A and B are shown apart, each in its own frame.
Chain A
Amino acid sequence: MGKERVAIVGCGQTKHVATNDGSIATVVRQAAAAALADAQMTWSDIDAVVIGKAPDFFEGLMMPELYLADALGAVGKPMFRVHTAGSVGGSTAIVAQDLIAAGVHERVLTVAFEKQSESEAMWALAVALPFQPPMHAGAGGYFAPHIRSYMRRSNAPDHIGILVALKDRLNALKNPYAHLHEHGITFDSVKDSIMLWDPIRYSETCPSSDGAFAMVMTNEKGGDAAAAAGRPPAWVKGTAFRSEPTMFAGRDQVNPRGGQECASDVYKQAGITDPRKEIDVVEMYVPFSWFEPMWLENLHFAEEGTGWKLVEDGVTQMDGDLPVNCSGGVLSTNPIGASGMIRFGEAAMQVRGQAGEHQIDGAKTALGHAYGGGSQFFAMWIVGAEKP
């Protein structure tokens, strides 16, 4: 089959904020330029550009690859745009690395972004689907009943969500690019914040952000060259997507089979048999705090019903043995279309030793995870410091 190895040799992102003053092109180009600078390449070194973002209604701009061709140096090159709902940042990274794995291109630039302040993201998320029963309550209202189900199934104590939110927001203080830097945050400040959709509190909910994340990927030759120049790449060891229907009779929305199978697939590709032991650091998509214990189970890090114990025991803290979301995660930064790629990219940054203050020392193997829709689209990758 001749599968080529893929190396991530450059990562870049914007400082995520509620409203970025730049134009859409500016935001995207900033992240891309930062990734190119990190890779010590220029626009003309790139063979193809793959972008990803969530629904175009968020910005009021249809098919943004058309408008962004110039800003991303894509003129005369193949340019592509992926849209798989919330998992899109992850899917985009996978499609980009497929171009290299398949031997189609040698150097690919990939960018995922969202400029939620441009249009009205809250409206776009809550738009009543014609002929569908009214949702009444926004995204949190969709997930809250399932979180309640998890709490009941697992007998998890009420405060687990608060612990996750506190951890992620404190981690974010070590990430200069994160949107929320809540210097005064405490357990009580999270607990006392307004309850939005019981059991989800305001401080346990992701923000709405403007931002972009970009990566430069190359083939083995490019990866080796970067390593030789003292810029260790992250190597792709496994990638997978899974999708399942939004709603069907008997669907498990708490521990979706799609997520479980996607994880099993990606672990198998990476040769991982004991994820809890073999993975050093995890970046998972947690937009509402309770998703951390739920995903820990879904991703086979904990037996069903016990994910919350890992949280309570501090296992997922930066000083625990399975640190989760050292970047601050989606709870601290959420430009929806970019969030998946931020997870994938932060995983790459960890194994490259590039994560600065939120670096886990000696991280060799990292999992990047993204999900979207009604917990139905999953995209995951495993990256490592060593070649597969």
Chain B
Amino acid sequence: MAEITLPPRLEGVEPVRSIRVPASIHYRYTAGEASSKFLREVAKKRLVGQQCPLCKKVYVPPRGCCPTDGVPTVGEVELKDTGTITSFCIVNVPFMQNLMEIPYVGALILLDGSDLPIMHLIQEIPADQVVPGMRVEAVWVPDDEIGPTLESIKYFRPNGEPDAPLETYKEHV
């Protein structure tokens, strides 16, 4: 890189190495029809997925279109708030800003009746005892804190059922 010759009055002056420029922009996001419907149901403690008219898969949370067929998912399917863990990882880094004790488990959970696992937290079981196939149920936040957000579900915990056989969720691992 070319050497820069400073004018005499700048010699000996400490160069500026970096500047700190705080920047903030506010955005108002649109959930869109599909997400809005879904989140309003969550606010009523209901999980309602949407079904693709072509491939018949049930998506939760729905985003308005089937990602493989590119058509609107219109059929509504109410789902239970229980499911099967298809895979998981044990998180040892404080991403949740000390809201969760480390280590904690992030898992992919296939809700009963749906075709796409959701990612959520697993609690009420030591991290090293979590296994794929484990049956879990949602633990919701107190009724007065429930709102149109998937954070209305605090986490999932084992529901005591025997582990689901691999065939029931094999497609997802």
**Chain B residues near A132 (CB, 8 Å)?**
61, 150
Does B67 lie within 8 Å of A247, measured CB to CB?
yes
A192-221 interface bits toward B, Cβ cutoff 8 Å, 1 = contact, 0 = none: 001111111000000000000000000000
Does A130 lie within 8 Å of B29, measured CB to CB?
yes
In the assembled complex, the CB of B152 is this many whole angstroms from the nearest CB of chain A, namely 11
Task: Judge whether A184 is part of the interface by a CB distance below 8 angstroms.
Answer: no
Task: Judge whether A77 is part of the interface by a CB distance below 8 angstroms.
Answer: no
Task: Judge whether A126 is part of the interface by a CB distance below 8 angstroms.
Answer: yes
Which of A5-13, A145-153, A277-285, A341-349 binds B?
Answer: A145-153
Does B119 lie within 8 Å of A135, measured CB to CB?
yes
Given A141-B89, A145-B88: A248 touches B68 (CB 8 Å cut-off): yes
Which of B74-82, B102-110, B139-147, B157-165 binds A?
Answer: B102-110
Task: Judge whether B31 is part of the interface by a CB distance below 8 angstroms.
Answer: yes
**A197 is contacted by which of B57, B89, B121 (Cβ under 8 Å)?**
B89
Q: How many residues in A have their beta carbons less than 8 Å from beta carbons of B?
A: 41
Task: Judge whether A70 is part of the interface by a CB distance below 8 angstroms.
Answer: no
Task: Judge whether B13 is part of the interface by a CB distance below 8 angstroms.
Answer: no
**Chain B residues near A230 (CB, 8 Å)?**
none
Does A131 lie within 8 Å of B151, measured CB to CB?
no
Given A131-B29, A136-B106, A153-B173: A248 touches B116 (CB 8 Å cut-off): yes
Does B108 lie within 8 Å of A145, measured CB to CB?
yes
A153 to B103, CA, bound (A): 25
Task: Judge whether A332 is part of the interface by a CB distance below 8 angstroms.
Answer: no
Does A136 lie within 8 Å of B29, measured CB to CB?
no
Does A195 lie within 8 Å of B107, measured CB to CB?
no
Does A149 lie within 8 Å of B95, measured CB to CB?
no
**Chain B residues near A141 (CB, 8 Å)?**
89, 91, 95, 106
Tell me the residues in window 263-292 of chain A with beta carbons closer than 8 Å to chain B beta carbons. none
Does A137 lie within 8 Å of B95, measured CB to CB?
yes
Given A153-B173, A198-B103: A136 touches B88 (CB 8 Å cut-off): no
**Chain B residues near A137 (CB, 8 Å)?**
89, 91, 93, 95, 106
Task: Judge whether A103 is part of the interface by a CB distance below 8 angstroms.
Answer: no
Does B55 lie within 8 Å of A249, measured CB to CB?
yes
Tell me the residues in window 127-141 of chain A with beta carbons closer than 8 Å to chain B beta carbons. 130-138, 140-141
Closest residue on chain A to residue B96 by CB atoms: A136
**Chain B residues near A138 (CB, 8 Å)?**
93, 95
Does B91 lie within 8 Å of A136, measured CB to CB?
yes
A198 to B119, CA, bound (A): 16
Task: Judge whether B48 is part of the interface by a CB distance below 8 angstroms.
Answer: no
Given A60-B23, A141-B89, A249-B55: A133 touches B68 (CB 8 Å cut-off): no
Task: Judge whether B17 is part of the interface by a CB distance below 8 angstroms.
Answer: yes
A26 to B87, CA, bound (A): 44
A267 to B68, CA, bound (A): 26
Task: Judge whether B113 is part of the interface by a CB distance below 8 angstroms.
Answer: no
Task: Judge whether B45 is part of the interface by a CB distance below 8 angstroms.
Answer: no
B99-130 interface bits toward A, Cβ cutoff 8 Å, 1 = contact, 0 = none: 00001101110000001101111000001000
A194 to B173, CA, bound (A): 26
Closest residue on chain A to residue B28 by CB atoms: A130
Task: Judge whether B1 is part of the interface by a CB distance below 8 angstroms.
Answer: yes
Closest residue on chain A to residue B57 by CB atoms: A249
Does A136 lie within 8 Å of B95, measured CB to CB?
yes
Task: Judge whether A246 is part of the interface by a CB distance below 8 angstroms.
Answer: yes
**Chain A residues near B118 (CB, 8 Å)?**
133
A97 to B80, CA, bound (A): 52
Task: Judge whether B132 is part of the interface by a CB distance below 8 angstroms.
Answer: yes
In the assembled complex, the CB of A254 is this many whole angstroms from the nearest CB of chain B, namely 8
Does A131 lie within 8 Å of B31, measured CB to CB?
yes
Does B116 lie within 8 Å of A249, measured CB to CB?
yes
Task: Judge whether B92 is part of the interface by a CB distance below 8 angstroms.
Answer: yes
Tell me the residues in window 313-369 of chain A with beta carbons closer than 8 Å to chain B beta carbons. none
In the assembled complex, the CB of B74 is this many whole angstroms from the nearest CB of chain A, namely 16
**Chain B residues near A140 (CB, 8 Å)?**
89, 93
**Chain A residues near B23 (CB, 8 Å)?**
60
Closest residue on chain B to residue A134 by CB atoms: B151
**Chain A residues near B96 (CB, 8 Å)?**
136
Does A250 lie within 8 Å of B89, measured CB to CB?
no
- On A, residues with C-beta under 8 Å from B are 21, 26, 29-30, 33, 60, 126, 130-138, 140-142, 144-149, 152-153, 194-200, 245-250, 254
The 10 closest A-B pairs by CB, nearest first: A144-B89, A245-B67, A249-B115, A198-B90, A145-B87, A249-B57, A130-B29, A133-B150, A248-B67, A131-B31
- On B, residues with C-beta under 8 Å from A are 1, 17-18, 21, 23, 29, 31-32, 35, 39, 55, 57-59, 61, 66-68, 86-93, 95-96, 103-104, 106-108, 115-116, 118-121, 127, 132, 149-151, 171-173
Interface pairs (17), CB distance under 8 Å: A21-B18, A33-B1, A130-B31, A131-B39, A133-B120, A135-B119, A137-B93, A141-B106, A148-B89, A153-B173, A197-B90, A197-B106, A198-B89, A198-B103, A198-B127, A249-B68, A254-B173
